[in-house]
Chains A and B, each alone.
Chain A
Amino acid sequence: MEYNIEKIRNIGISAHIDSGKTTLTERFLFYTDRIHAIHEVKGKDGVGATMDSMELEKERGITIASAATYCEWNDYQINLIDTPGHVDFTIEVERSLRVLDGAILILCAVGGVQSQSITVDRQMRRYKVPCIAFINKCDRNGANPDRVTQQLKEKLGHNAVVLQVPIGMEADFKGVVDLISMRAIYFDGENGEILRYEEIPADLIDKAESLREELIDEISLFSDELTDAILEESEITDTMLISAIRSGTLARKMTPVFLGSAYKNKAVQPLLDAVIKFLPSPKDIENEALDMSADEAPVMLSHNLDDPIVALAFKLEDGMYGQLTYIRVYQGTVSKGDTVKNIRTGKTIKIGRLVRMHSNQMEDISSIKAGFIGALFGVDCASGDTFISKHLDLSMTSMFVPEPVISLALLVDDNKSRINMSKALNRFTKEDPTFRTFVDEETNETIIQGMGELHLDVYVERMRREYEVKVETGKPGVAYRETITRRAEFNYIHKKQTGGAGQFGRVAGFMEPVTDEEFVFENKVTGGSIPTQFISSCEKGFLSCMKKGPFLEFPVSGIKIVINDGASHSVDSSEMAFQSAARGAFREGYNRAAPVIHEPIMKVVVETPTEFNGPVMGLLNQRRGMIVGSQEDGVMSTIEAQAPLAEMFGFSTVLRSSTQGKAQFTMEFFAYKQVPKSIAEEIQKK
């Protein structure tokens, strides 16, 4: 197909788990002739949906890795990214949103806007991704698209504008009325592939006309031509409406709302049309890179194919033939045989095989042009790396990477597993910046760290299945921290004169808590009581104590050290002596400075049917959760709380059993806060 940047769409499908995004993607691929049979997410045929390529995803019916796929619709080239909906995998979602130009926000016609939809929406907002909404599952019992549209306005603050009216609802859902063309559309054939256009059913004419009026009124803000046509009472054409909706959507000032049922093959094709009509092409989006040679000054990127290459590696996957690196090309053309530079490592790479992905199947291509998403083979890099032409010095903006809050010890017995585990961990840490690993020097255990229980669970499962690692896990550990709560003086002499050269150093000063910084060191020594050449040794000595606090051996943060006096010996003082003196001074001051433990507090949002409000609050309360508030919205209630991570292990199971599986929750890191005294004592005992 001929390259035309205006006919490219890089689209993400973002939604809450189980709202049907994988099913919708599957239908997209079917209608665009990329696949020839439809498989369900948890289908009876055992094949599983095409986009859920990871075995684990198929089994759990959830999407973990964001597989990218390509399809064509009405002469337009669409790159689809299937994104995970669970908050624990948000780095995946965020990475996808970084490279996407537009998104479809799927909402469930029954469940409506749920807590995870809110998280996903917040991420879209952060990356300013224009979106259209699709209210799925209109065939289900209890489907109420009007309520969902209202929630889209109230809960997510979108200017949601309805573009379709459902014909029938729940089991009677037959099709939709398109408010632009004012026609009814029905979906015939075995898989809804035959579109039948009819007159609007008589009982829906009034509703459709009044909603069309509302639509025109709403979108007239985005088009002078339309406003003029309204004022002059001249004909309002479909083109005018489409152009106004597109302007409003691209400016993120409105969200067009579509509806249907992907599972029942209804109203998927109009959504594909909407992707083309209302979501941006790469040309509509301004992308910036940072000029590393000019103090990271932003540089606007062109979309020219002949300009130097700027591309971002946004996802890595370990395939059968080695590492597969998904890239988005922002500027220039990446072709086979080209040489590009990885700005992070400075290494040059020769581009070998280039492919376009269709979930887990590949299609070889000769180049990836500006605006396109594709994949490279056999390139060693990490996720988030920027590839550029050799003479450039640009990096794409770095992505926000949160610190991990939970850790887990991995225990393996046999050597084969140990080797495979090492391979797997190496892969995972490259793929996912929020997943970290290290070996605990004391216990010699391999520790993995991540953003939540499920996050780590999935990696452990992947190790077992994909890498055949026989691994057991220890109890999850919380990343506690220590800090001090008051100012304390120190004055420590380090003196050693037994055997060999003597050691002498005295360090005096004070330490005090600071809120915004991890560690501050200030030298106020006057008169050379500590010779200048030993000041940096003192800093090193203090800094070395930060890794493991003297109180309970957790990392120390929020501390300011000021040294203002000391003493040295002409022969016995050395760098080592002052480092030891500083360590002694730290211990001395620290114990006087009322050290305390801080623990990660999570923001927990539970969405539950109102009748379970009480039990859910009880559960949170038992877990030292502080309930901030509850929001009642018809039959559902949302409870917001702040709870310590240490108490939240296994919460999903308890929540499910207490609410007949009807409640769900999201959890994300909120802040570090002081552990209550009684709990601190328990931690101390352990």
Chain B
Amino acid sequence: MTKYESIDYNPLGVETDSIINKGSFAAVVARAGVGKTSFLVQVALSYMMNRKKVLHISLHDSVKKISLWYKEILKDLVDQNIVDLHGTPLDLLLPYRFIMTFKTDGFKLPNFVERFSDITEQEIFLPDVLIIDGLPLDETTQDLLKEIKAFAIQKSLPVWFSGHIHRDEDPGEDGTPSPFFHVADNFDAVIQLQPKEKKVYVEFIKGLANDSTIHVDPSSMLIKKA
């Protein structure tokens, strides 16, 4: 038993795969500690359950810590009956994920491309989607984002990012939070996690129509509906 059937899990109400096209960017932006990483892990899991291979790149956590995120979130999804694995052992999902970590200041596209070639040229892992967690999305990374965009288009890969925003800085002219507005043009879908009272609301700033029933449960960090 080395394969499993696709498992129905689309936490954002539409097929995750359809939110952005190949070569396009999506961003999940929020203040520190609101749950960007766990949100991205759920996005990644929805791809994996649809048998799409996810290359998860983290610029701040270790491989061990990220593996733990996946394990815990998947366990919660099953325990809370959000996902039915139909008896599929969790291990069978693992070949659909590859974690790469880099130090933030050491993340340069040529380095990444070299690592990417290491796994793709030997067909060790051929990703269908990239998740980049921890790259600052502000004026300092404008050029880097352009380079990543060109790479994503060349390799036909959709890319999901997380972005840190500051509430005490003025937003852009169109209300896009700071400092993300400096690079917002590069993105086709933008989701903002907005903590209000006891809930964390999931607001689509760009790309999808808002579904006010979708939120993040702050106790489990799981994306839920209604």
CB within 8 Å for A626 and B95 given contacts A613-B115, A614-B122, A621-B124? yes
A674 touching B122 in the complex, CB below 8 Å, given contacts A631-B101, A633-B103: no
- Cβ-defined partner of B125 (8 Å) among A627, A632, A634, A676: A627
B interface footprint on A626-647 (CB within 8 Å = 1, 0 otherwise) = 1111111110001010000000
Are A630 and B101 closer than 8 Å at their CB atoms?
yes
When the two chains form their complex, are residues B103 and A630 in contact, meaning their CB atoms are under 8 A apart? no
On whether the beta carbons of B100 and A630 are closer than 8 Å, the reply is yes
Chain A residues within an 8 Å CB radius of B99: 628-630
Residue in contact with A614 in the complex, picked from B67, B101, B117, CB distance below 8 Å: B117
> Is the C-beta of A316 less than 8 angstroms from some C-beta in chain B?
no
A618 at the interface (CB under 8 A from B): yes
Main secondary structure of the interface of A (DSSP, over half): strand
Q: Is B98's CB under 8 angstroms from A627's CB?
A: yes
Q: Cα distance A622–B125 when bound, in Å? A: 13
- A632 partner residues in chain B, CB cutoff 8 A: 100-103, 106, 111, 115
**CB within 8 A of A640: which of B63, B95, B124?**
B63
A618 and B101: CB pair below 8 A? no
Is B190 an interface position by the 8 A CB rule? no
Q: State whether B98 touches A673 (Cβ < 8 A).
A: no
* B115 in contact with A629 (CB, 8 Å): no
A-B interface pairs (CB < 8 A), number: 63
Roughly how many angstroms separate A676 CA and B62 CA in the complex, as a whole number? 30
Whole-angstrom distance between the alpha carbons of A638 and B122 in the complex?
Answer: 18
Residues of chain B with a CB closer than 8 A to A618's CB? 122, 124
Chain A interface size, under 10 / 10 to 19 / 20 to 34 / 35 or more: 20 to 34
CB atoms of B101 and A673 under 8 A apart: no
**B139 in contact (CB, < 8 A):** no
Smallest CB gap from B118: residue in A? A614
Nearest CB in chain A: distance from B92 CB, A: 10
Q: How far is the CA of A640 from the CA of B64 in the complex (A)?
A: 9
Interface assignment of A208: CB less than 8 Å from any CB of chain B? no
Are B63 and A617 touching (Cβ within 8 A)?
A: no
Chain B hits for A614, CB < 8 A = 114, 117-118, 121-122
Residues of chain A contacted by B111 (CB below 8 angstroms): 632
Q: A248-278 interface mask toward B, CB cutoff 8 Å, 1 = contact, 0 = none?
A: 0000000000000000000000000000000
Across the interface, name the chain A residue whose C-beta is closest to B1. Answer: A674
Indicate if the CB atoms of B124 and A627 lie closer than 8 Å. yes
**Is B2 on the interface with A (CB-CB < 8 A)?**
yes
A629 touches B119 (CB 8 A): no
- Whether B197 sits at the interface, judged by CB under 8 Å, is no
A631/B115 contact (C-beta < 8 A), A614-B121, A614-B122 known:
no
Contacts of A633 in B (CB 8 A): 103, 106
> Out of A613, A640, A674, A676, which one reaches B118, CB within 8 Å?
A613
Complex-state Cα separation, A236 to B24, whole angstroms: 59
Bitwise, B84-128 to A at CB < 8 A (1) or not (0) is 000000010011001111110010000100110111011011000
Q: B94 is contacted by which of A617, A628, A631, A634 (Cβ under 8 Å)?
A: A628
B116 to chain A, nearest CB (A): 10
- A614-B117, A614-B122, A617-B119 are contacts. A629–B106 as well, Cβ < 8 Å? no
Instruction: From known contacts A618-B124, A634-B103, A634-B106, infer whether A629 and B66 are also in contact, taking CB-CB under 8 Å.
Output: yes
CB closest chain-B residue, reference A640: B63
A630 and B1 contact, CB distance less than 8 A: no
Distance in angstroms between the alpha carbons of A633 and B63 in the assembled complex: 12
Q: Are B63 and A628 in contact (CB under 8 A)?
A: yes
Which residues of B sit under 8 angstroms from A634, Cβ to Cβ?
103, 106
* B124 (CB) vs chain A CBs: closest residue: A621
Cβ of B102: which chain A residues have Cβ within 8 Å of it?
A: 632
Please measure, in the bound complex, the distance between the C-alpha atom of A496 and the C-alpha atom of B114, giving whole angstroms: 71
Residue of B nearest to A634 (CB): B106
Q: Is the CB–CB distance between B101 and A629 below 8 Å? A: yes
* Closest chain A CB from B105 CB (angstroms): 10
> Given the complex of chains A and B, what is the CA–CA distance between A130 and B121 in angstroms?
46
| Chain B residues with CB below 8 A from A628, complex form | 63, 67, 94, 98-99
Q: Mark out the residues of chain B between 1 and 48 whose CB falls within 8 Å of any chain A CB in the assembled complex.
A: 1-2
Contact B122 A631 (CB under 8 A): no
A676 vs B114: C-alpha distance when bound (angstroms): 31
Q: Which partner residue on chain B sits nearest A625 by CB separation?
A: B124
State in angstroms the CA–CA spacing of A285 and B60 once bound together.
36
Known: A634-B106, A674-B1. A629 touches B118 (CB 8 A): no
Whether A673 contacts B124 by the Cβ 8 Å rule is: no
Most chain-A CB neighbours within 10 Å: which of B1, B63, B66, B91?
B63
With contact pairs A617-B124, A618-B122, A621-B122 given, residues A630 and B115 touching in the complex (Cβ less than 8 Å):
yes
**Chain A minimum-CB-distance residue to B2:** A676
Which of B2, B62, B111 has the most A CB atoms < 10 Å from its CB?
B62
- How many angstroms between the C-alpha atoms of A216 and B157 in the bound complex? 50
From known contacts A617-B118, A674-B1, infer whether A629 and B100 are also in contact, taking CB-CB under 8 Å: yes
Q: How far is the CA of A227 from the CA of B196 in the complex (A)?
A: 39
Interface residues of B (CB under 8 A from A): 1-2, 56, 62-64, 66-67, 91, 94-95, 98-103, 106, 111, 114-115, 117-119, 121-122, 124-125
Between-chain CB contacts (< 8 Å), 5 pairs: A617-B124, A629-B101, A632-B106, A632-B115, A674-B1
**19 further interface pairs, Cβ-Cβ under 8 Å (given A629-B67, A633-B106):** A613-B115, A613-B118, A614-B118, A617-B118, A617-B122, A621-B122, A627-B119, A628-B67, A628-B98, A628-B99, A629-B63, A630-B99, A630-B100, A632-B115, A634-B106, A640-B63, A640-B64, A673-B91, A674-B1
